[in-house]
Amino acid sequence: MRNPTTPGAVGESAELFLPWLPPRDLADAASACRALRATASAVTARRAADAARGLEPVPIPFHNRVDSKPYAYFHYTPFSLIVPSSSPHAQPWGCAWAQPPGPTWPRPNLDGFPSAVCGCPCAAGECGGPRCACADAEADAAGSGSGSEAGIGSLRECSDGCACGPSCGNRRTQRGVAVRLRVVRHLQKGWGLHAAEALGRGRFVCEYAGEFLTTEEARRRQKLYDELASVGKLSPALIVIREHLPSGKACLRVNIDATKVANVARFINHSCDGGNLQPVLVRSSGSLLPRLCFFAGRDILEGEELTFSYGDARVRPKGLPCFCGSLGCPGVLPSEET
Q: Which of 121-125, 197-201, 238-242 has the lowest mean pLDDT?
A: 121-125
Residue 99 has pLDDT above 80, yes or no: no
Whether residue 159 sits in one domain with residue 19: no
The percent of residues in the chain predicted with pLDDT above 70, rounded, is: 76
* Per-residue confidence (pLDDT) for residue 326, from 0 to 100: 85
Phi, psi of 17, rounded to the nearest 5 degrees: -110, -25
Whether residue 164 sits in one domain with residue 32: no
> Which range scores top for mean pLDDT: 12-16, 22-26, 81-85, 151-155?
22-26
* Per-residue confidence (pLDDT) for residue 233, from 0 to 100: 77
Domain-embedded: residue 167? yes
The percent of residues in the chain predicted with pLDDT above 90, rounded, is: 45
CA pair distance 23, 34, nearest whole angstrom: 18
Whether residue 161 sits in one domain with residue 258: yes
Whether residue 21 sits in one domain with residue 65: no
pLDDT band per the 50, 70, 90 thresholds, residue 46: very high
Domain that holds residue 8: 1-49
Whether residue 328 sits in one domain with residue 279: yes
Domain-embedded: residue 265? yes
Whether residue 286 sits in one domain with residue 140: yes
Domain count, the chain: 2
Whether residue 66 sits in one domain with residue 43: no
∠ CA 34-38-39, nearest 5°, is 120
Domain-embedded: residue 54? no
Whether residue 107 sits in one domain with residue 168: yes
Average pLDDT, whole number, for the chain? 82
Q: What DSSP element (H or E) covers 224? A: helix 215-230
In terms of Cα–Cα distance, which of 40, 87, 20 is closest to 221?
87
163: CATH:
2.170.270.10
Whether residue 316 sits in one domain with residue 231: yes
Helix 34-49 / helix 23-30 crossing angle, nearest 10 deg: 150
* Per-residue confidence (pLDDT) for residue 228, from 0 to 100: 86
In angstroms, what is the C-alpha Rg of the chain?
Answer: 21
Whether residue 301 sits in one domain with residue 220: yes
Domain-embedded: residue 329? yes
Whether residue 220 sits in one domain with residue 155: yes
pTM greater than 0.95: no
| Tens-digit pLDDT profile for residues 152-179 | 788 888 887 787 877 788 888 988 999 9
* Per-residue confidence (pLDDT) for residue 330, from 0 to 100: 82
Residue 44 has pLDDT above 60, yes or no: yes
In terms of Cα–Cα distance, which of 31, 38, 44 is closest to 8?
38
CA pair distance 90, 291, nearest whole angstrom: 24
pLDDT band per the 50, 70, 90 thresholds, residue 337: low
Residue with the bigger pLDDT between 51 and 131: it is 51
Give the mean pLDDT of 206-230.
91
* Per-residue confidence (pLDDT) for residue 47, from 0 to 100: 97
pLDDT band per the 50, 70, 90 thresholds, residue 128: low
Cβ atoms of 257 and 216 within 8 Å: the answer is no
Whether residue 208 sits in one domain with residue 157: yes
Which residues on adjacent β-strands are paired with residue 284? 157
Domain-embedded: residue 201? yes
Residue 224 has pLDDT above 50, yes or no: yes
Domain-embedded: residue 290? yes
Domain-embedded: residue 264? yes
Residue 150 has pLDDT above 70, yes or no: no
Domain-embedded: residue 56? no
| Tens-digit pLDDT profile for residues 251-305 | 788 999 999 999 999 999 999 888 999 999 998 877 778 899 999 999 999 999 9
